[in-house]
Amino acid sequence: MTDAQETAADTSLRTTGGAPPDDGGSSEAEVPIPLLEPRDGIPPVIADEGSLAEVIAAFAAGSGPVAVDAERASGYRYGQRAYLVQLRREGAGSALIDPVACADLSGLGEALAGVEWVLHAATQDLPCLREIGMIPSRLFDTELAGRLAGFPRVGLGAMVEGVLGFVLEKGHSAVDWSTRPLPEPWLRYAALDVELLVDLRDALEKELDRQGKLEWAQQEFDAIASAPAPEPRKDPWRRTSGMHKVRRRRQMAVVRELWQARDKVARRRDISPGKVLGDAAIVEAALALPANVHALSALNGFGHRMGRRQLEQWQSAVDRAKALPDHELPQPGQPVTGPPPPRAWAEKDPVAAARLVAARAAVSALAETLTMPQENLITPDTVRRVCWEPPGEVNAESVAAALAGYGARPWQVEQVTPVLLPALTSSPAG
């Protein structure tokens, strides 16, 4: 009996009748079942090496895939570290691990080597899991599986309800998970997030297989598992919200100086940068170029609640930017390594612009036929690059090679090449 079936059979865990649909079709009851408690109760939080060793042994002895989730303190703490790790595996039950108290989980990662990890939106959790030594060699991403299968809503709650017939309580997704001790309702929520993840994986695997997309999904999962850690972003200050309003180089220098000063404070205090100084305030100061603390304090974001010392700190950053020689000011834009923005194509290269219009229409039509988002069929950046600079001799082989060169998976190459060929070979009208 699966987790879902056992949970459905336990009437103490729900407030309405019915059960999730079985493989043969819909059940008699159509009302979703609120999932109120983990089937085995809320597991204790593992916060010492002895207890961790017991969990590692239990999960190593378990069977089948392992459900994995992590909770961060986005918006509260600096960075994206994990503050709670949840797991569930057949034969081992569920576990909640405190990665602050147990900072090195590489032993657990090694114990699960070769086991398929089931995650929801894997790319969100893998970076913080990697930091504590948990790196999967195989995975199944239930969110991505839902996208490929054509589900209109792919959040975990929507997927569990739509596929398994259970309602997950999602009220604690944005809380401060660095809080210690963690309140019991939060721990219950965290345990429930992995309670049915393997069942969801199994149901989605069947649906992908029915649609002939299971191999496609596996290629996507393999690509995620084998992807290297991303390189640090160059000039991250350029992503300040509202940056499009900042036109002059001197103003851009103010954004850079304030962003860097804020980042140092946030890192030192282990607090979200937005809680130190908002992006809107940074842009406001850049546009105004205040002459002194008094002028700075009159700007939005630098109000009466900010102390004199803080205001002087931010004004010093503004003054540093104002004192820079011209040759040290940032350039208006980052070096462009790919095609120009599509809005500029009609003027720069009308033929390429026509190719892009045709290619986008073809990809859109194919994605609709396959019932999946266009960006999962092929990335928009790949389409732009191939249209801006197509192979010297356009044919099925050269287009396929170009797509593969930009990172498209074999299934994407196979599906997209035939529809891109006419777009790359047709002449613009007129």
pLDDT surpassing 90 at residue 323: yes
Section 97-122 average pLDDT: 97
Average pLDDT, the chain: 91
CA dihedral sign, ordered 406, 411, 413, 419 = negative
pLDDT for 427 equals: 57
Model confidence band, residue 334 (pLDDT cutoffs 50, 70, 90): low
What's the CA gap between 430 and 424, in Å, rounded? 17
R_g of the chain, CA atoms, integer Å = 26
With beta carbons less than 8 A apart as the criterion, state whether 261 and 282 touch. Answer: no
SS3 47: coil
The percent of residues above 70 in pLDDT, for the chain, comes to 92
Closest C-alpha among 132, 130, 156 to residue 143 = 156
- What pTM was computed for the model? 0.88
pLDDT for 19 equals: 30
pLDDT surpassing 50 at residue 430: no
Model confidence band, residue 97 (pLDDT cutoffs 50, 70, 90): very high
Residues 6+ apart with CB under 8 A from 231: none
* Tally of CB atoms within 10 A around 238: 16
Tens digits of residue pLDDT in 198-254: 999 999 999 999 999 999 999 999 999 999 988 888 999 999 999 999 999 999 999
Section 98-115 average pLDDT: 97
Q: Which tops the pLDDT comparison, 171 or 167?
A: 167
Assign 3-state DSSP to the chain and report helix, strand, coil percentages, each to 5: 55, 10, 40
The percent of residues above 90 in pLDDT, for the chain, comes to 84
Q: Which tops the pLDDT comparison, 1 or 288?
A: 288
Structure tokens at 94: 């569920």
With beta carbons less than 8 A apart as the criterion, state whether 140 and 65 touch. Answer: yes
Section 1-15 average pLDDT: 44
Tens digits of residue pLDDT in 377-408: 999 999 999 999 999 999 999 999 999 999 99
With beta carbons less than 8 A apart as the criterion, state whether 119 and 69 touch. Answer: yes
SS3 46: strand
The residues pairing with 46 across neighbouring beta strands, listed in sequence order, are 97
